Chain A
Amino acid sequence: MQLLANVLIDGLAYGMVLFIIAAGLSVTLGLMRFVNLSHGAFAMIGGYLAAMLTREAQWSFWLALPLAVVATGALGALLEALVLRHLYRRSELDQVLFTIGLTFFLIAATNALAGPQVQLIVLPPFLAQSVDLGFRTLPVQRLFVIGVGLLVAVVAAFAVTRTRFGVWLRAAVDHAETAATLGVPVRTVQCACFAIGAALAGLGGVLGAELMPLEPYYALKYLVLVLVVVAVGGMGSLLGSLVAGITLGIVETASKYLASEWGSLFFFLAMAVLLAWRPQGLLRRGAA
């Protein structure tokens, strides 16, 4: 019973982190049809910024977190506007290669700047403690992560369904050319989406630093996991990423607790089964 609760809480937290990071990639893939394999780097950068700010500059976590997130978003916007948008028309393979090259470059740069050791983020005392719910004590950090994940999901759902931006976004996802002729500022939407996705990735990098240690190879190591969540959830579907993230997060955590000698077998087995069953993703949205 204790074990089950542990698995659920840790799995849910892990899943939320995956969701938060994957959300941006899912929208980029679904919206711009752009295969951005450097997305993991944004998560890494966000985490590193928070680590630097809390450790070197002695900032409070509550200040460092939003700054790291915003800075990562800004970096994403810059990258998109200057470099990546020129690749939208290129073949998928070209996009894959360029963004992998970019990732390699960023990994090497991270190592050059900060060294190969794992970066730790200094958590505020509030998060570092455990809360006693009577029947169980739960680490606040986990609850915080789950809470933020739900908040992101709710805000994203609201933004997509109720706001003007959301209307534009959905129009652009379904059919970019038509949307443009209808007056939707497609370029702005694309850049904004990319920036928000990058910012979310940064947020995920910070929140998940305990489960996914920050070191230069982070950008590549966890890319596969994020790609899996996007593929299983369906490109362009935020809800799909949420469901896929939570499902796979729990599967992976359960297998770590119960069958660790099997490695990530069950994660990838679950992924293969889900993808084979629904090749377009669990909840695909956007035009084929």
Chain B
Amino acid sequence: MTAMLETRGLDRHFGGLHVTKAVTLQLQAGDRVALIGPNGAGKTTLVNLISGVLAPSGGEIRLAGENVTGRTQAQRVRAGLARTFQITTLAPHLPVQRQVELALFEREGLTGRAWRSIDGYPVLAEEARSLLRTFGLGAHAGLATERLAYGEQRLVEMALALALRPRVLLLDEPMAGVPQSDGARLLAALDTLPKDLAVLIIEHDMDLVFRFARRIIVLAEGAVLADGTPEQIRNDPAVRTAYLGH
């Protein structure tokens, strides 16, 4: 079966620094994979390489078998890849519903249309509202995104990624900066992700990782240290050394 997402020998240099070292991994449809590792291991860099924000110094990236290594970020999105950001990246003054509608317009290829009003797409508006409702944000549809609580903004991030109906979803520390009180909603949202979606999540919260992931990839100093089930990882001495130093 062709992997939904595959990287082969992915490399990245920053001047003299070798931040990503020959990373090879695979995600199948429906996978729930967590990417963990100590700070500075290069997790976000890896996500940036896969999503197209950064160009690799070497190696290959494939989406559902297609080689997307040379493609722009926008092209990869259209090929079925979506991501969220570690630091919330939203348009601060747009109302939440408009932000989601924007994702939908983009998905449907409608952002080239310059004449019909954005109010003239009732089907997409309803899809936006219903997506917001599944995240518990229905009541906030008219608020500017900057007015939402931080935890709710993280939910909007996820909603936007899902609105694109991706085949592969990269979540960069969705729980980062979210207070405990809002954490439950995010966890619930993670449980509602489509079954055939391949998900790669970067997280530091080990409870979440062991709850959510069926497979764990450990990254240390830019290279893949281990790749296996949660049980295997828990018992892997190399992993313990990398994290705990002994």
A and B touch in the complex (CB under 8 A): no
Binding site for B on A (CB under 8 A): none
User: Chain B: residues with CB nearer than 8 A to chain A?
Assistant: none
